[in-house]
């Protein structure tokens, strides 16, 4: 079950007095979000439109959809951060999972007894209960480190593309405990810092090391990189989601690769999928500038992040990488 920040929502609605509201939320909480906001809309006299598209983070705004629908307000629910608003109409409303974290942490004790220094991190829905976990582990004799807030991240929070809070404590930590259900967050943490990472799923009570999955992704990224070296035709993807739009990087990659003899095509795309990429039959490899996590997915053709795209340019120029 989730709880939303109703006080902030009430204050916002009373201030703006919207008649038509667009509601954006991640798919994992969509059903609960629809129920909560529907009841709220009846009470406060506005009509709610629920966006049926995917939503992966605070970068995944729906300002263009809001403009097209002519709404008065966009409620972006469930991607917690230090940000209160973005764009012209988007306001962030926090949502929290009320599942207790202590049972899965207690279950993990035999697996972490060999470690002395523990790093804690989680995603937005579990942030409110992270202090409880820290206190519990300290009482068990562990030294527990939780990264201070680094906006837009709160204390101990990570995004799929931002692990700043963990980087600040990595030197003190023997193992990271990631509390959550999403493997890709833990994979990114392992591959960035090279420290052991245990995933503690508070819903299933499953506990496992992410190392095997993370190494698989590392091999996948390297394999794609070396395949892209031989690619004659390269597509550089410009992300059309407001928070992922980076045309300056796309144009720079386009110019550099063209100067190195590649046939380069600029492609604008909102949702990057294998099916859509396969429509570009003439292209051998892609570089996407939208989100660094996308390249970790498995596509039929090589897809590099912009970071790996710049490394590709360095390699083609004969520089050490």
Handedness of CA 153, 272, 267, 214 (dihedral sign): positive
Q: Is residue 242 pLDDT above 90, yes or no?
A: no
Digit-coded pLDDT (tens) for 272-288? 999 999 999 999 999 99
Instruction: Name the percent of the chain lying above pLDDT 70.
Output: 100
Distance (Å, whole) CA 164 – CA 166: 5
pLDDT of residue 70: 98
Give the domain 102-209 fold: Rossmann fold (3.40.50)
Q: Mean pLDDT for the chain?
A: 96
State pLDDT tens for residues 114-138: 999 999 999 999 999 999 999 999 9
Residue 299 pLDDT greater than 80, yes or no? yes
CATH class in words for 217-316: alpha beta
User: Do the beta carbons of residue 57 and residue 79 sit within 8 Å?
Assistant: yes
Contact in structure between 164 and 147 (CB atoms under 8 Å) = yes
Whether 15 shows a pLDDT value over 90: the answer reads yes
CATH 3.40.109.10 for the 2-97 domain, yes or no: no
Task: Report pLDDT for 321.
Answer: 75
> For 59-107, what is each residue's pLDDT tens digit?
999 999 999 999 999 999 999 999 999 999 999 999 999 999 999 999 9
CATH 3.40.50.11860 residue spans of the chain: 217-316
pTM equals 0.91
Judge residue 319's burial from the number of C-beta atoms within 10 Å of its C-beta, 0-12 exposed, 13-18 middle, 19 or more buried.
exposed
Q: Specify the DSSP class assigned to residue 272.
A: -
Location of each CATH 3.40.50.11850 domain in the chain: 102-209
- C-alpha 28/C-alpha 15 separation (Å) is 29
């Amino acid at each position: 079950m989730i709880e939303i920040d109703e006080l902030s929502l009430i204050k916002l609605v009373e201030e703006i007095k919207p008649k038509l509201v667009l509601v954006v939320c991640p798919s994992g909480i969509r059903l609960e979000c629809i129920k909560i906001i529907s009841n709220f809309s009846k009470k406060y006299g506005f009509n709610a439109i629920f966006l049926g598209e995917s939503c992966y983070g605070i970068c995944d705004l729906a300002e263009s959809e809001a403009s097209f629908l002519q709404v008065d307000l966009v409620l972006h629910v469930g991607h917690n951060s230090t940000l209160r608003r973005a764009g012209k109409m988007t306001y962030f409303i926090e949502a929290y999972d009320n599942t207790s974290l202590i049972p899965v942490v207690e279950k993990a004790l035999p697996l972490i007894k060999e470690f002395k220094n523990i790093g804690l991190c989680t995603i937005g829905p579990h942030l409110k209960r992270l202090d409880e976990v820290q206190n519990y582990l300290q009482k068990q004799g562990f030294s527990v480190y939780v990264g201070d807030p680094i906006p837009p991240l709160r204390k101990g929070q990570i995004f799929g593309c931002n692990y700043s809070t963990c980087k600040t404590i990595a030197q003190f930590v023997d193992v990271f405990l990631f509390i959550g259900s999403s493997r890709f967050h833990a994979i990114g943490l392992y591959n960035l810092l090279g420290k052991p990472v245990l995933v503690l799923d508070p819903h299933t009570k499953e506990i496992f090391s992410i190392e095997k999955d993370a190494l698989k992704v590392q091999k996948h990224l390297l394999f794609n990189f070396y395949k892209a070296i031989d690619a004659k035709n390269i597509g550089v993807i410009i992300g059309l989601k407001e928070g992922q739009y980076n045309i300056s990087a796309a144009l720079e990659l386009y110019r550099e690769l063209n100067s190195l003899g590649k046939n380069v095509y600029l492609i604008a795309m909102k949702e990057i999928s294998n099916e859509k990429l396969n429509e570009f039959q003439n292209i051998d490899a892609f570089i996407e500038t939208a989100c660094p996590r996308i390249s970790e997915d498995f596509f039929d053709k090589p897809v590099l992040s912009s970071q790996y795209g710049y490394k590709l340019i360095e390699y083609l120029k004969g520089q050490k990488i």
